[in-house]
Amino acid sequence: MIYREIKLLQIMRHDGVIRAIDLYTPNTVEHEFKDVYVVTEYAGDSIVKILHDQKVTGRTHITPEHVPFIIYQLLRVLKYIHSANIIHRDLKPGNLALTSDSDLTVLDFGMARSLERTETSLTHETPSIDIVLVDVWSVGCITAELMLGQPLFPGEDTNAQYEMITSLCGSPDEELMRKIEATSPATRRVVESYPFHKRQNFTQRFPGCPPLFIDFLDKILVLDPEKRLTVEGALSHPYFADYVDATDEPTAPASFDLNDNPSRSRDEWKGIIWQEIQNFLGDDASPKIPS
């Protein structure tokens, strides 16, 4: 939703989060309002573009040495937004940008949610029954993709995605199945309909990769969220020892209240977004018209 992104880009203050520098609309009165443009700072190329260029040109832009530096920056951002009770929910290479100095910026908060407004779910993006750790699972997938140069789980649909995840990480054990059943008996029945897989040995699965990378991946790509690394646990993993600086891992001063009641009507949201534009423009309250 555009409202959430507009709101979050105004209230978040972190060097790893994309910054809005302007909002404007070609519409001059509220009852005609239908278009809004968000102008952000330039943060570099998206990681998906960088990885694509690597594949096409054969030139390596992201080396194994770059990976822990990039992922440490991502974890710093997650520590900040999670401390504000916000989850991103759409972390992927296309929503991460890198400068030529490998400085990372997290983009696109359109899927972000307040924790208290997010329902627990089990999806093919993350096999987690604790939605707060959806972002942590994504960190594991991104880490692997940076090292391998290609997606770890490139399934084209839900079934293929789930099969690829469980063939590497193993099927849910009985302890996790009980947790799934407590949330949704129907989901347990669906999970039980898939073939059972044992967890692979990650050292054998990722031959030639740095041992600390393998250990980190082995601890973060865990189906049960209660056994998976947390953001804080990930930050303290020795894979990031060369970059970690606990004095430079800021948290939000308070939880962010998005006030994003889903029961509002289309016209109500239209008025709210219009007002956000006016508030952003301040004294220059007339919407800017793009040239």
Q: Are strands 37-40 and 113-114 parallel, antiparallel or unpaired?
A: unpaired
Contact 122, 47 (CB under 8 A): no
Q: Which residue has the tokens 């239209």?
A: 270
Percent of the chain with pLDDT strictly greater than 70: 91
The helix (run of H) or strand (run of E) holding residue 22 is strand 20-24
pLDDT beyond 60 at 144: yes
**Domains present along the chain, CATH in parentheses:** 1-41+261-291 (3.30.200.20), 46-255 (1.10.510.10)
Q: List, for residues 90-100, the tens digit of each pLDDT value.
A: 999 999 999 99
**Two structure tokens written together for 259:** 């006030």
Half-sphere CA count of 285, side-chain side, radius 13 A:
7
Q: List, for residues 152-205, the tens digit of each pLDDT value.
A: 999 888 899 999 999 999 999 999 999 999 989 999 999 999 999 999 999 999
What mean pLDDT do residues 230-242 have? 97
The Cα 281–Cα 285 span in angstroms is 5
The Cα 37–Cα 118 span in angstroms is 27
What pLDDT sits at residue 284? Answer: 54
Half-sphere CA count of 228, side-chain side, radius 13 A:
26
Lowest mean pLDDT among 38-52, 77-91, 249-263: 249-263
* Residues assigned a catalytic role: 90
**Two structure tokens written together for 151:** 């997606």
Could you give the dihedral angle defined by the CA atoms of residues 54, 57, 60 and 62, in that order, rounded to the nearest 10 degrees?
-20
pLDDT beyond 60 at 119: no
Q: Which residues pair with 114 in a beta bridge?
A: 86
Chain centroid to CA 97? 12
* DSSP secondary structure letters along 116-153: GGPPP---SS---SSGGGHHHHHHHHHHHHHHHSS-S-
Comparing 263 with 111, the larger pLDDT belongs to 111
pLDDT beyond 60 at 289: no
Q: Give 118's pLDDT tier (boundaries 50, 70, 90).
A: very low
Chain centroid to CA 207? 27
86 phi and psi angles, rounded to 5 deg: -120, 135
CA angle 220, 224, 225 (to 5 degrees): 65
Q: Provide the whole-model pTM.
A: 0.88
pLDDT beyond 60 at 146: yes
